[in-house]
Structure 1
Amino acid sequence: MDADLAMAKLKAAKEKYGREIRVFETVTTSQEPSEVAKNEETDEFYEFTPEDYYRLMSTKKEDKYLKTRKIREAEAAARRSRFTKAVIRIRFPDGYTLEGTFHPSESLQSIFDLLKKVLARPELPHYLYTTPPKKLVKDTSQDFFAAGFIPGAIVHFSYDMPKDAAADSVPYLLEDVISLKGLDHIPEAKTEPTESTSQSITNDPPVVTEQRKPVDKKAAKPKWLKM
């Protein structure tokens, strides 16, 4: 697809869904989308074990000194000011990944609001979770900073219904959303220097280097040396 046409399609999607979105496909050639959905890990796989706890504690770095509340608040404000967006990737069991760009001060409810617009069957009960360990996204009133989703995060989508239900037989995303797949990989067209630019470069005045006059060695000798 032509780069200009791809950018126009992404721009139209942004206007339709209210934010920048991208679509990726992560299904391997050896697995069909239905097989990926069937092979989704169970809840026991994401349980936090004692081994996970000790491994986490062993890699945790302790602060060298205690910080006052004002210092902590100042550091938190400085961190917030450095980020202007949160990039969230929502992975679906059929192998597609939807990427959306949000403002850090927005609440997590904005993710679910986007899903209502892009899902093929938004009326079916569904939920989001992070891994590992498996943790449901419940408090949708949190902003992206409070949820730890800055500068970005990967969340997983699942229907809140039995896995053998008919919901897995249809695509999770709308067809026009799936059609955005791969458009982010199209390189931008290179801009050639225009005529006005080239003229401004060639018409610049030449750099003049200052030439030093040769030093007269005879004149530089002191008078007492001539005697």
Structure 2
Amino acid sequence: MASVIKKFFQKKKLDVKFKKAGEGHKLNEERPSTSHGSRSNERVQRNVEYNRSTSEEKQRAAEAALARSQGQSKTAPDPSMAAKARMRRELELEKKKEQEAIALSQKYSEPQEVVKDSAPMATILFTCPDIGPAVLPKEDMVVHIKEFLLSQLAEEPEMASALMIHTLNKDADRVKVCIDTLCKYLDNIINNPGEEKFRKIRISNKAFSERIASLEGTEEFLQAAGFEVKLLPFEDHDERFFVMDETNGGDIERLNNLKAVLRAAEPIRPKLDRAMKVFYPTNSAAKFSIPTEFYSISPEELKKEQQRKQEAVESLGMLRTKAMREREERRELLKYRYTIIRVRFPDGNLLQGTFKATEKLPALIEFVRENLENDWMPFHIVTQVGAKLDDENKMLAEYGLTPAAVVNFEWDKTVLKEVTAQQGSSQKQSPLKQDVLACIQDL
């Protein structure tokens, strides 16, 4: 490109020289030497010099413009650099928002001190009101439920065995396939009461082995239905079968009841014990001791994971899509499995309960209501900054109430005003039940 521009200006200089030199003449022809011609030649020479300098300036300007254009093309923005810069801006914006939220919390609410509890003893306990008053760690409660169901087999074999299938197997999809298959066996007998082949199930059959025999409680259910294990000839050898006799196979009403029990049964699950406590008013309400069981992963692993994510973003300029951000936000929400919530009442007393982080707002509302003297009166749960918790579809983790939090109790002002007008005095006594207040202690 530069050589083409240079040739162009050289050609222009030659054209100027020829035009300014006057008319042409032969080499053997004498040229007029008048004073006028001499002055004319001088003017021509000056014009040539002037045009030469002008052309050189234009050439230098063109070459400079070309150099600038080439330089710009060499320094075109790198897309990856732009992505990194955009990522840095997003991180800085997120960090700024987080700092603002922390500042707002410190301004309007009392400071919260959460301390990891290194005590080895378990603090998370479970109960199962359907089978008794026992309060145990989760693993022990699971064993307790299984022992209870086994103990009921002698009295109510159909119901107990159906509950075992639903309760002792955790894979819901496999449980559904098992129940559908068992019901299909019963339907075949009901629809073909006189045919012996429908009252026999080969135990080594692949479908039976995979769908039924591999699940707990199925053998107990088949025995409760009237099947017995027998060794019968099959092809050129003997095999074990579940066999129902003709009498049991002919009791259609009983078989239909078995199907109904199997489909209607629901799993018995351990229920988190609220570990309810009541405390006198205190300035230390927001200081908590959090046991290790509260963490989905250990605090050290969580810190390392966040650091690795930050380093990956900064070094690679990784752009996060909306789906990626949503997954990260959910992981952040569920980094705690449990939470301790203290509800401060107008008299300053504190009601404390333990919850799963995934439980929704109605669980907290129900816990508070069942401990109120006037449990029929509407009330609100309010955060330290005065915001009402009113979305019943939100998890406690989504409200930021993990791994521990203090919230306030407020009666519905309209209803409270009407009650006060009828009773002639305001509600000055504690809203909590008397038997709950009997357990009050210092924090």
TM-score by length of 2: 0.28
Paired with 1:27 and 1:128, the residues of 2 have a C-alpha distance of 19
| Alpha-carbon displacement from aligned partner over 1:136-170 (angstroms, at most 9, x marks no partner) | 11112211122221222221111112399245233
Letter aligned with residue 113 of structure 1: E
2:374 to 104, 121, 134: 121
More moved, 152-161 vs 94-103: 152-161
Paired with 2:274 and 2:356, the residues of 1 have a C-alpha distance of 10
Whether 1:176 aligns to 2:399 is no
Letter aligned with residue 21 of structure 1: M
2:280 to 16, 22, 25: 25
Paired with 2:418 and 2:353, the residues of 1 have a C-alpha distance of 26
Q: Report the Cα offset of residue 126 of structure 1.
A: 1.4
User: Which residue in 2 is equivalent to 1:112?
Assistant: 365
Q: Report the Cα offset of residue 70 of structure 1.
A: 4.6
Q: How does 1:159-198 map to 2 (within 5 A)?
A: 159-160=411-412, 161-162=416-417, 165=420, 166=425, 168-182=427-441
> Residues 27 and 94 of structure 1 are in contact (CA less than 8 Å); yes or no, is this contact kept in structure 2?
no
> Residues 381 and 388 of structure 2 are in contact (CA less than 8 Å); yes or no, is this contact kept in structure 1?
yes
User: Which residue in 2 is equivalent to 1:97?
Assistant: 350
Alignment CA distance shift 1:122-1:172 (3 Å): same
The structure richer in helix per residue is 2
Whether 1:136 aligns to 2:388 is yes
Q: Report the Cα offset of residue 68 of structure 1.
A: 3.0
User: Which residue in 2 is equivalent to 1:188?
Assistant: none
Q: Report the Cα offset of residue 177 of structure 1.
A: 1.4
Paired with 1:91 and 1:115, the residues of 2 have a C-alpha distance of 11
> Residues 334 and 397 of structure 2 are in contact (CA less than 8 Å); yes or no, is this contact kept in structure 1?
no
Paired with 1:110 and 1:91, the residues of 2 have a C-alpha distance of 17
Paired with 2:358 and 2:369, the residues of 1 have a C-alpha distance of 20
User: Which residue in 1 is equivalent to 2:57?
Assistant: none
Indicate the percent of aligned positions where both proteins have the same amino acid.
25
Alignment CA distance shift 1:70-1:125 (3 Å): closer
Whether 1:86 aligns to 2:345 is no
Paired with 1:73 and 1:27, the residues of 2 have a C-alpha distance of 38
Alignment CA distance shift 1:26-1:163 (3 Å): farther
> Residues 357 and 397 of structure 2 are in contact (CA less than 8 Å); yes or no, is this contact kept in structure 1?
yes
| Alpha-carbon displacement from aligned partner over 1:55-81 (angstroms, at most 9, x marks no partner) | xxxxxxxx9776333542443343345
CA RMSD of aligned residues (A): 3.4
| Alpha-carbon displacement from aligned partner over 1:79-122 (angstroms, at most 9, x marks no partner) | 34531101111000112100111101111111111122100111
> Residues 275 and 354 of structure 2 are in contact (CA less than 8 Å); yes or no, is this contact kept in structure 1?
yes
> Residues 86 and 149 of structure 1 are in contact (CA less than 8 Å); yes or no, is this contact kept in structure 2?
yes
The structure with the larger Rg is 2
> Residues 22 and 180 of structure 1 are in contact (CA less than 8 Å); yes or no, is this contact kept in structure 2?
yes
Paired with 1:135 and 1:80, the residues of 2 have a C-alpha distance of 20
* Structure 1 runs, 4 residues or longer, greater than 6 Å off: none
Q: Report the Cα offset of residue 125 of structure 1.
A: 2.1
Paired with 1:73 and 1:94, the residues of 2 have a C-alpha distance of 41
